[in-house]
């Protein structure tokens, strides 16, 4: 999506379409919506993450859950769901995958047998290093592509956190 606003022909059917270099499209409205822009940034970050998969073959979601468990050993499934903003039901399939690969373990809480505590296995700890590299690669690539300075990047992080850490 290049260059600034430019008036655009309304009768596109008449315009001879240049095959690769398309006429710039009018994005003036969506371009100013944080709700939309954040989605586009997220799509791009997922693309980068997936393009650099190393031996861990995890989806971004699975990686985020693994990372979250690593930071909160023995966390319950309900807490994970709240922490990564998803539903307990959705977590089941993610944890099934992670336990199936031997990266995390589910243990019933001895105090409250309804709760399941989840923690990383030694293999999960190994995979974690790899995943962190992928996450960092996403950040570096995004920043490089955008041409932002380190200070601008920090500002962006700070502002996004104001939304995600409301109240």
Which residues of this chain interact with DNA, rule CB under 7 A? 17, 19, 43, 46-47, 50, 59-62, 76-79, 86-95, 106, 112-116
Among candidates 64, 129, 71, 126, which has minimal Cα distance to 97?
64
Q: Which is nearer to its own copies, 123 or 139 (CB)?
A: 139
Q: Which is nearer to its own copies, 43 or 57 (CB)?
A: 43
Candidate segments 22-30, 50-58, 89-97, 98-106, binder of its own copies by CB under 8 A? 22-30
Examine residue 163 and tell whether it contacts its own copies (CB under 8 A). Answer: yes
* Total residue length of the chain: 167
Residues 70 and 124: beta-carbon distance below 8 Å:
yes
Rounded to whole angstroms, the Cα distance separating 161 from 51 reads 26
Q: How many CB atoms lie within 10 A of CB 101?
A: 17
Interface mask (CB under 8 A) for its own copies, residues 61-100, using x and -? ---x--xx--xxxxxx--x--xx-x---------------
Say which entry of DNA, its own copies, none residue 139 contacts (CB below 5 to 8 A, set by partner kind).
its own copies
Rounded to whole angstroms, the Cα distance separating 65 from 88 reads 12
Residues 121 and 103: beta-carbon distance below 8 Å:
yes
Say which entry of its own copies, DNA, none residue 94 contacts (CB below 5 to 8 A, set by partner kind).
DNA
Q: How many CB atoms lie within 10 A of CB 21?
A: 7
Among 51, 54, 87, 155, binds its own copies (CB under 8 A): 155
Interface mask (CB under 8 A) for its own copies, residues 39-58, using x and -? xxxxxxxx-xx---------
Among candidates 153, 103, 105, 150, which has minimal Cα distance to 131?
103
Among 59, 99, 115, 121, binds its own copies (CB under 8 A): 115
Total H helices, total E strands in the chain: 6, 3
Say which entry of its own copies, DNA, none residue 44 contacts (CB below 5 to 8 A, set by partner kind).
its own copies
């Amino acid at each position: 999506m290049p260059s600034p606003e430019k008036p655009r022909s309304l009768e596109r059917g008449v315009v001879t379409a240049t095959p690769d270099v398309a006429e710039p499209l009018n994005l003036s409205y969506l371009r100013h919506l944080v709700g939309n822009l954040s989605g586009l940034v997220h799509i791009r970050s997922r693309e980068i993450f997936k393009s650099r998969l190393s031996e861990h073959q995890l989806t971004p979601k699975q990686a985020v859950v693994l990372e979250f468990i690593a930071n909160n050993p023995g966390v319950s499934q309900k807490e994970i769901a709240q922490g990564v903003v998803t539903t307990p039901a959705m977590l089941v399939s993610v944890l099934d995958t992670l336990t199936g690969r031997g990266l995390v373990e589910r243990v019933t809480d001895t105090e409250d047998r309804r709760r399941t505590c989840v923690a990383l296995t030694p293999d999960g700890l190994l995979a974690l290093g790899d995943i962190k590299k992928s996450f960092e690669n996403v950040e570096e690539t995004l920043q490089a592509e955008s041409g932002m300075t380190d200070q601008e990047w920090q500002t962006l992080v700070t502002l996004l956190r104001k939304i995600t850490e409301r109240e």
